[in-house]
Amino acid sequence: MQTSQDIAAALTKRAALAGVAVMVLTTVHHAIGAVVYRTPWRLHIALLSVPTIAVLLGALAVHRRRAGAPSGRAAFVVLAAALALVPIAWIGVFEGLYNHVLKDALYFLAPGSPAFVRLFPPPVYELPDNALFEITGLLQVVPAWVAAAALARRLLGRRRTAHPGCAVAAAPPHRIGSIR
């Protein structure tokens, strides 16, 4: 039987590791872009990825060791904020969804569209002319979605169990979060 604490711990770990995956994938993606487009400045992402990964893993470790203590709760706040800001919003939504999903959709579904040039002006944006670069760009959305979903479930589950009278709070502990 999983307790609500076990479920919360699993969701926290899933969100953090998915966030790490986003950062690793975006580093690979930018390294590919640096080589393909001869733009070494794209490697700057490592200056964001390495510290973000360190914060995510460090906060996860502190939270897991001291979950009930104030330091464990503070570590979770740091972890949630770092996840929401960098791997989910900045990389997942802006870099993956806007810079690649929307760009590729407009390019392939509405070729020559004025919206494409307005939203993705050259030389800031590259035309989708390298499959590996575009695929790794699109793939950033997947672990970002996993991180966002796990973090949302973790936050919403915590909120629901905190309110007396709520159906989840009223359920026996072994049924919280389980699907049966």
Q: Which tens digit of pLDDT belongs to each residue from 15-54?
A: 999 999 999 999 999 999 999 999 999 999 999 999 999 9
Print the domain residue range for 52: 4-175
- Does residue 20 belong to any structural domain of this protein? yes
**Residue 167 burial class via C-beta count within 10 angstroms: exposed 0-12, middle 13-18, buried 19 and up:** exposed
Half-sphere exposure at residue 31, Cβ-oriented, CA atoms within 13 angstroms: 9
In this structure, the number of other CB atoms found within 10 A of the CB of residue 22 comes to 33
- Does residue 157 belong to any structural domain of this protein? yes
CA angle 23, 24, 28 (to 5 degrees): 115
**174 pLDDT exceeds 50?**
no
Residue 54: per-residue pLDDT: 98
Q: How far is CA 72 from the centre of its chain?
A: 21
- Does residue 164 belong to any structural domain of this protein? yes
pLDDT (average), residues 125-151: 95
Number of domains in the chain: 1
- Does residue 180 belong to any structural domain of this protein? no
